[in-house]
Copies of this chain bind each other. A is one copy, B any other.
């Protein structure tokens, strides 16, 4: 359903004794559902006893009233929604992960990608460690547990573990008595903090999940910061703060996050509107109406309309009832002819010069189809604008961008793309301007590697790619590797 996929949304709540933390987490996961539709999970901590439910499916499918009832009351809970990459599919990989170690139980909810997970796992396996999943979260669990044996507290173990774990992560760790949250030193993944009227603390990927649970936004977690919440209140460990320059993912603003969220101090809706305004400045055109591709192109369309003075219109009706089991048109029916998911509103576009804003152009096939729909609806001219720059490079931080051979911008010039998708004119937002859409966070505060190939961290060697295959153990792979 979505063109580009994020791996996860995380949620943690530290409540009062016997409170309905499961239900709050459930609401939070609903708000984060756009960040992962493959599986979801909640772990409730009732004074050291962990009850959990994790399964493939939407929040709506997995958490029925009965399931929620069974999770019971507790004082702490963590939750997770996951988009499953090839590497992490399957119910066994559903998060939050729950493990038992020498000091008791631990649950981990996690968003990101660990660059050196492969090497860490090899070392651990060499030491006799067993792995039940292919998830980075299990590697993280081991690293924290190994540190825990040498140190006096779980938060100190997390602090030490952050020296070993490289990459992008927003982490929520639940021990029998504490809730700990941390963000990688670059702040590649978002994480924020809130508090309810009843004094419950909430940490989560996006502020919209705070709204969903009735918590007030306090502040974003700083890059490298560790937040510790227990019955004595909230403390912060800043040993890793400032260790690296902030480089948060700009694509959160362009596409991933919900427009009603505020990330690192910037409204996502506002950032998108600005992207539209910059587009209007970079690629002005005479036209009768500006429309957006629902849903994530709408905010930028408003911005383009406002900046250009061209009226904003509603160009499409999106069918909101189409669910998971929808049977798409196949051989017998050409998809172009049936307009089930998206239907143009003829009155808006007929005989008009139309500017249409899409959030991004990945393979170009969706764009082409949308432009055909507009042509058939009688649009006179079609001016396509992408509120993301051209996708040219892979992401190593958890975003599932297509391989280069599938990225249309890797193989074609703007002019060629324009012709391929069938537009009259085409413009991509410049990398220069995309960095300014959330200017309040600082002009240089973003990772834009997918557009400009500048990665804030070391990146994994290509040869390790096959670790994600399921056939053999990592150690066997290493052997194979060495033989080559």
Q: Show the binding face of A for B, using Cβ within 8 Å.
A: 20, 23-24, 26-27, 30-31, 33-34, 47-49, 58-61, 63-65, 68, 98-105, 125-132, 134, 138, 141-142, 145-146, 149, 176, 197, 208, 211-214, 258-260, 262, 267, 269-270, 273, 295, 298-299, 302, 305-306, 311-314, 316-317, 319-327, 329, 332-334, 337-340, 343-348, 470-476
Copies of this chain, complex-wide, total 4
A206–chain B nearest beta-carbon distance, Å: 11
> Do B339 and A212 touch (CB < 8 A)?
yes
Contact check, B128 vs A130: say whether CB atoms are below 8 A apart: no
Cβ–Cβ < 8 Å partners of A125 in chain B:
100-102
* Inter-chain contact A337/B197, CB cutoff 8 Å: yes
Are A346 and B260 in touch, CB under 8 angstroms?
yes
Whether the pair B311, A306 counts as a contact (CB closer than 8 A) is yes
Question: Across the interface, do B340 and A30 meet the contact criterion of CB distance under 8 Å?
Answer: yes
Q: Of B105, B327, B334, B346, which is within 8 A of A26 by CB?
A: B327
Task: Report the Cα distance A31→B47, complex, angstroms.
Answer: 42
Please measure, in the bound complex, the distance between the C-alpha atom of A473 and the C-alpha atom of B313, giving whole angstroms: 54
Could you list 9 examples of A-B contacts with CB < 8 Å?
Answer: A23-B327, A65-B325, A68-B327, A99-B130, A100-B132, A130-B130, A208-B317, A212-B339, A299-B314
Residues of B within 8 A of A134 (CB): 100
Partner of A100, one of B105, B131, B313, B326: B131
Closest to A311 in B: B306
Shortest Cβ gap from A289 to chain B (Å): 10
Q: Is the Cβ of A104 less than 8 Å from the Cβ of B473?
A: yes
- State the CA gap A470–B44 with chains docked (Å): 14
Query: In whole angstroms, how far apart are the Cα atoms of A462 and B192 in the complex?
Result: 48
CA A137 – CA B79 in complex, angstroms?
Answer: 28
How far does the alpha carbon of A470 sit from the alpha carbon of B102 in the complex, in Å? Answer: 14
* A49 to chain B: closest residue by CB: B471
Point out the residues of chain B lying under 8 angstroms from A306, CB to CB: 311
CA A78 – CA B273 in complex, angstroms? 45
> Which B residue's beta carbon lies closest to that of A141?
B130
Contacts of A314 in B (CB 8 A): 259, 269, 298-299, 302
**Chain B residue contacts of A333, Cβ below 8 A:** 20, 23-24, 214
Q: Which of the residues B101, B146, B298, B337 comes within 8 Å of A473, measured between beta carbons? A: B101
Q: In the docked arrangement, what's the CA distance between A324 and B149, Å? A: 45
B contact residues around A102 at 8 Å (CB): 125-126, 128, 473, 475
Task: Give A296 to B265 CA distance when docked, in angstroms.
Answer: 32
Complex alpha-carbon distance, A322 and B33, angstroms? 10
Q: Are B347 and A34 in contact (CB under 8 A)?
A: no
A34 B321 Cβ-Cβ under 8 A: yes
- Chain B residues with Cβ under 8 A from A132's Cβ? 98-100, 132
Cβ of A319 to closest chain B Cβ, rounded Å: 6
Known: A299-B314, A323-B323. 6 other contacts (CB 8 A): A31-B340, A60-B326, A102-B126, A105-B472, A197-B337, A295-B320
Separation of A146 and B322 alpha carbons in the complex (Å): 41
CA distance A231 to B131 in the complex (A): 27
- Contact status B58-A323, CB under 8 Å: yes
Q: Distance in Å from the Cβ of A422 to the closest Cβ of chain B?
A: 20
A269 touches B100 (CB 8 A): no
Complexed CA–CA distance, A295 and B295 (Å) = 12
Most buried by B among A49, A65, A128, A270: A128
Q: A212-B338, A338-B212 are in contact. Are A30 and B130 (CB under 8 A)?
A: no
The residue that A129 contacts in the complex, of B34, B101, B138, B259, with Cβ under 8 A, is: B101
Evaluate contact between A472 and B128: CB separation under 8 angstroms: no
**A30, A102, A127, A299 — most chain B CB neighbours (10 Å):** A102
Min CB–CB distance A213 → chain B (angstroms): 6
Decide if B104 touches A260 in the complex (CB within 8 Å): no
Q: Do A212 and B343 contact each other (CB < 8 Å), given the known contacts A101-B130, A126-B102, A314-B298?
A: yes
Evaluate contact between B130 and A347: CB separation under 8 angstroms.
Answer: no
Q: What residues on B are CB-neighbors of A105 within 8 Å? A: 472-473
CB-CB nearest in chain B for A321? B33
Min CB distance A79 to B, Å, is 14
CA distance A156 to B262 in the complex (A): 58
Query: Whole-angstrom distance from the CB of A481 to the nearest CB of chain B?
Result: 15
